[in-house]
Structure 1
Amino acid sequence: MARTSGIETRDKLIRAAEEIFAAQGVDGARTRDIVRLAGQSNPSAVQYHFGDRGGLLDAVMAGRLERTEAALTPLLEELPDPDLEDLVRALVTAEATQLSDLRGLRCLRISAQLSHESGIRTRTPHPTLAGTAYWRLIERIESSLAAAELPEPIRLERTDLALTLIGAALADRARQYLDGARPLTTEPVFLADLVTTTVALLRAPAPKQGRTAE
Structure 2
Amino acid sequence: MARTSGPETREKLIRAAEELFAAQGVDGAQLRDITRLAGQANPSAVQYHFGSRAGLLDAVMAGRLARTERVLVALAPGAGEDVRGLVTALVTAEASELRTDRGRRCLRVSAQLSHESGVRSRTPHPTLAGTAYWALIDRIAARLAEDGLPGPLLLERLDLALTVVGAALADRARQYLDGAEPLTDEPLFLADLVETTTALLRAPRPRSS
Question: TM (normalized to structure 1)?
Answer: 0.96
Match of 2:43 in 1: 43
Alpha-carbon distance in structure 2 between the residues aligned to 1:173 and 1:68: 17
How far off its partner does 1:143 sit?
A: 1.2
CA RMSD of superposed structures (Å)? 0.9
Aligned residues: 209
Map 1:66-85; keep pairs closer than 5 Å.
66-79=66-79, 81-85=80-84
Alpha-carbon distance in structure 1 between the residues aligned to 2:179 and 2:202: 35
Give yes or no for the alignment of 1:157 onto 2:149.
no
Alpha-carbon distance in structure 2 between the residues aligned to 1:147 and 1:141: 10
Match of 2:200 in 1: 201
Alpha-carbon distance in structure 2 between the residues aligned to 1:134 and 1:147: 20
Match of 1:115 in 2: 114
Match of 1:30 in 2: 30
Match of 1:53 in 2: 53
Alpha-carbon distance in structure 1 between the residues aligned to 2:11 and 2:96: 21
Task: Could you tell me which runs of 5 or more consecutive residues in structure 2 were left unpaired when the two chains were aligned.
Answer: none
Alpha-carbon distance in structure 1 between the residues aligned to 2:117 and 2:177: 26
**What amino acid maps onto 1:48 in structure 2?**
Y
Map 1:99-110; keep pairs closer than 5 Å.
99-110=98-109
Question: TM (normalized to structure 2)?
Answer: 0.98
Give yes or no for the alignment of 1:13 onto 2:13.
yes
Say which SS state the counterpart of residue 120 (structure 1) adopts: coil
How far off its partner does 1:2 sit?
A: 3.6
Alpha-carbon distance in structure 1 between the residues aligned to 2:139 and 2:152: 16
Say which SS state the counterpart of residue 122 (structure 1) adopts: coil
How far off its partner does 1:49 sit?
A: 0.3
Match of 1:141 in 2: 140
Taking every aligned residue pair, what percent have the same amino acid on both sides? 73
